[in-house]
Amino acid sequence: MEEHKIGVYVCMCGTNIAKMVDCDDVVRTASEQPGVVCAKTYKYMCSNPGQEMIVADIKEQGLDRVVVAACSPRMHEPTFRKALQTAGINPYFLEMANIREQCSWVHDDRQVATEKARALTLGATRRVANHQPLERMSVEMCPDVLVIGGGVCGLTAALELADGGNRVHLVERASTLGGNVARVDLTAPYLDSARDLMTALVTRVEEHKKVDVLTRSQVSSLEGFVGNFVATVETIWGDSASVSQFKVGNVIVATGYKEFDASRVTHYGYGKLPNVITSFEFEKMLRAGRVQTKEGKLPQYVAIIHCVGSRSKEFHTYCSRVCCMTALKYAQEVKSAVPSCYVSDVYIDMHAFGKGHEDFYRRGSEAKTLFLMYGKNDHPVIRKAGPGDDCEMLIEVNEKLSGEVIEIPADLVILMVGMEAREDSEAVARLVNISRDKDGWFIESHPKLDPVATTTDGIYIAGACAAPKDIPDSVAQARAAAGRILARTIRGVIDIDAVFAEVTEDKCSGCRVCNELCPYSAITYDADKKKSSVISALCKACGACVAGCPSGAIAARHFTDAQIFAQIEGVLA
Amino acid sequence: MSFEPKIVGFLCNWCSYTGADLAGTSRIHYAPNVRIIRVMCTARIDPTFVLKALTDGADGVLICGCHPGDCHYSEGNYKMMRRYPLLKSILAEFGIEPARVRLEWVSASEGQRFADIVNDMTQRVRELGPSPVRTALVQDMAER
């Protein structure tokens, strides 16, 4: 094997790695390996000084292979590849050893964690010696965008993109645009009308020359890859359906949420007690301008119960974020509709996290709303009042702050139902090839640093389909996703990984086993030469053909047998 | 000191490797015996990878891919699923206990599941003791 000059860089990641892994020890072991000419630790390898150190070493010591033992390659592989490129060597001469996510963060014995980090680093060191120089490929980037979901998030994204000059196909399952926000009366905390807000958005979208709106429609398939997807959409017209197909470069998934089904919580009597209603049913009342009981009477006592389906062991453990402020809004709206009404607000904790929320909470307190705190998993109990009571229902609350059991009257009870992932989220995830978390929300590429991208290039998620969100956050994400796409499409081309399969013609026996194995029909067969070959632009580098070839004639670039064998030897050495 | 097995893990990039990363970001602690090697898809796993790991001294091999139906390449995991019984029958011929080689589905959101699988497999292989391949190789070296 040719001689290499390998540099090994072990990141301490502050104390994230150094606390559980003896980084100096990893460096010592690595420096004893053949070909390793320099091995170092540093506090933060991904920082500018860290990268500059690697670049300087490559230039000064003539390194031609680099190992970075640090976080997951899913996190910083692009960063360090760029550093190699800056230093003037092929970016694929890098290999990362994942000693944070898959080592220091998951073990509690420093000695064994260090031993594992040594093994992983050794695996990377052996592997990198076998790396080949690869060039990235440029393919055309279609500027058109598919936006799935016509709620506040999808509409905002569509407008942002269309204003930027890109054609947008906006697909909405329902017959009208607007989504859940269109069902709301006023918005907290500034009490703007949701209707005005949505009307303006919907009108602009419908009139925009660059937006094709497809209502009563569903995306039935999405094929291809970033820059070159082909979407198939089915539209229902009365009894018949039509199918349209178009090319797009990127996709924004903005499918939103659905409200929690209150009848699943049996102790609140929803569906049995006529005057126990959900927040969305109350919005409907507000929009109609009538706050009243089912019997048509003005309520004397209104109770609002928080966290229905949220923050509970039984249903969803997460907070739905918008309900606290919406509940405060209801208290104000009830008071202005029925000034003599007593409002009680029964909550677990008041989450007033956003801009203007604390002030809104204070105003609510000053408006003489009765606040009662209940314990998580110690929910209030609603029962029908007796003939002697001057109210419809009685609510028993084990009030946490006073420590007393308090009974409050109610004529109307509003359940603040939480948000949950739509029942079709699994199908949508499968359609666009993204993942969901345990609650069914779509998973972002990185929860902090890359919130609207996904692990599938060209697929973006925005709004409440990724987790409960309020309107400002959804709008911000819509614009973020649109901005990301605009920035990418402006170049007109996209660089894709140079990782694909290659057939060595001499070894190919023409058996055509690989032709059948390829899920992308990326392998063609030349009947005259009796040889198969890979169309690199179509290959997605899964490697199925490589493992399937009985002659060993196909190589997976960057995942060759030699590279993986060397890594196996390294991790077991 | 009790026997601590060495296990090589081949994880697909899209679901299982991401799931293992999630176990990390969620700080779910598990046994340190598995050394992970990333492949793009379980369909890339040539049976020779498994044999190579065993002959190089691994006491077990763990293969993790996307759940059926969830493959990034639509059906790569089904290809692995079909190769796996063949591989297992070859290993049985060599006298390698079935529990030493294991195929599991781990999605990107199943950090806990990945940790549970690693713990369970480590325990099972620990009970089996060192791989017969490793023992035979050591013996062979001694006789030379």
Q: Does CATH place domain B7-143 in 1.10.10?
A: no
Chosen for mutation from B30, B37, B51 (greatest number of chain A CBs closer than 10 Å) is: B37
Percentage of chain A with pLDDT > 90?
A: 87
Q: What is the pLDDT of residue B1?
A: 57
Same domain (yes/no): A232, A93: no
**Is residue A570 situated within a structural domain?**
no
Q: What is the pLDDT of residue A1?
A: 52
The DSSP code for A392 is S
A107, A134, A161 - which closes a domain: A134
Q: What is the pLDDT of residue A446?
A: 82
pLDDT confidence of A535, banded at 50, 70, 90? confident
- Nearest CA among A122, A18, A4, A115 for reference residue A67: A122
By CB atoms closer than 10 A (0-12, 13-18, 19+), residue A240 is: exposed
Q: Do B23 and A101 touch (CB under 8 A)?
A: yes
Looking at the predicted structure, is the pLDDT value of residue B79 above 60?
Answer: yes
pLDDT confidence of A350, banded at 50, 70, 90? very high
Whole domain around residue A519: which residue ranges? 501-556
State the average pLDDT over residues A514-543. 90
pLDDT confidence of A184, banded at 50, 70, 90? very high
Same domain (yes/no): A97, A185: no
Shortest alpha-carbon distance between residue B131 and chain A (Å): 13
End-to-end CA distance of chain B: 29
Tell whether A107 lies on the interface with B, counting CB pairs under 8 A.
yes
Are the C-beta atoms of B14 and B44 separated by less than 8 Å?
no
Q: What is the pLDDT of residue A170?
A: 98
Q: Do A561 and B108 touch (CB under 8 A)?
A: no
State the average pLDDT over residues A355-379. 90
| Phi, psi of B126, rounded to the nearest 5 degrees | -60, -40
Of A115, A119, A542, Cβ closest to residue B44: A542
User: What CATH number is associated with residue A22?
Assistant: 3.40.50
Are the C-beta atoms of A461 and B126 separated by less than 8 Å?
no
Q: Do A547 and B83 touch (CB under 8 A)?
A: yes
E strand or H helix that includes residue A37:
strand A36-42
Q: Do A541 and B40 touch (CB under 8 A)?
A: yes
Of A430, A546, A568, Cβ closest to residue B52: A568
The DSSP code for A193 is E
pLDDT confidence of A231, banded at 50, 70, 90? very high
CB atoms within 10 A of CB B69: 12
Tell whether A110 lies on the interface with B, counting CB pairs under 8 A.
no
Percentage of chain A with pLDDT > 70?
A: 100
**Is residue A572 situated within a structural domain?**
no
Q: Do B41 and A116 touch (CB under 8 A)?
A: no
Q: What is the pLDDT of residue A543?
A: 94
Residues of A whose CB is below 8 A from B20: 101-102
State the average pLDDT over residues B94-117. 94
Of B32, B76, B109, Cβ closest to residue A443: B109
A78, A100, A134 - which closes a domain: A134
Q: What is the pLDDT of residue A359?
A: 94
**Is residue A185 situated within a structural domain?**
yes
| Phi, psi of A474, rounded to the nearest 5 degrees | -65, -40
Tell whether A548 lies on the interface with B, counting CB pairs under 8 A.
yes
Same domain (yes/no): A86, A165: no
Tell whether A571 lies on the interface with B, counting CB pairs under 8 A.
yes
CA-based Rg of chain A, rounded to a whole angstrom?
30
Same domain (yes/no): A194, A276: no
State the average pLDDT over residues A459-484. 97
State the average pLDDT over residues B58-83. 92
State the average pLDDT over residues A77-106. 97
Residues 6 or more apart whose Cβ sits within 8 Å of residue A481: A157, A252, A254, A452, A460, A461, A462
pLDDT confidence of B139, banded at 50, 70, 90? confident
State the average pLDDT over residues A52-72. 97
What DSSP letter does each residue of B30-99 carry, written as one string? --TTEEEEEES-GGG--HHHHHHHHHTT-SEEEEEEPPTT--TTSSHHHHHHHHHHHHHHHHHHTT--GG
Same domain (yes/no): A413, A266: yes
Same domain (yes/no): A129, A109: yes
ipTM for the complex?
0.96
**Mean of the per-residue pLDDT values of chain B:** 93
**Is residue A392 situated within a structural domain?**
yes
**Which A positions 219-238 lie with beta carbon below 8 A of chain B?**
none
Number of structural domains found in chain A = 4
Looking at the predicted structure, is the pLDDT value of residue A433 above 90?
Answer: no
**Is residue A105 situated within a structural domain?**
yes
Q: Do A572 and B115 touch (CB under 8 A)?
A: no
Looking at the predicted structure, is the pLDDT value of residue A2 above 70?
Answer: no
Q: What is the pLDDT of residue A435?
A: 82
Looking at the predicted structure, is the pLDDT value of residue B35 above 90?
Answer: yes
State the average pLDDT over residues A99-118. 97
A101, A134, A167 - which closes a domain: A134
Q: Do A572 and B8 touch (CB under 8 A)?
A: yes
Q: What is the pLDDT of residue A495?
A: 83
Residues of B whose CB is below 8 A from A107: 29-30, 32
Same domain (yes/no): A352, A333: yes
State the average pLDDT over residues A540-560. 94
Same domain (yes/no): A407, A433: no
| Phi, psi of A339, rounded to the nearest 5 degrees | -60, -25
Q: What is the pLDDT of residue A520?
A: 81
- In chain A, the residue whose alpha carbon lies closest to the alpha carbon of B113 is A438
Residues of A whose CB is below 8 A from B58: 568, 572
Cα(A365)–Cα(A370) distance, integer angstroms:
8
By CB atoms closer than 10 A (0-12, 13-18, 19+), residue A439 is: middle
| Phi, psi of A260, rounded to the nearest 5 degrees | -65, 140
User: What CATH number is associated with residue A222?
Assistant: 3.50.50.60
**Dihedral sign (CA A374, A375, A379, A384):** negative
State the average pLDDT over residues A236-249. 94
Q: Do B18 and A74 touch (CB under 8 A)?
A: yes
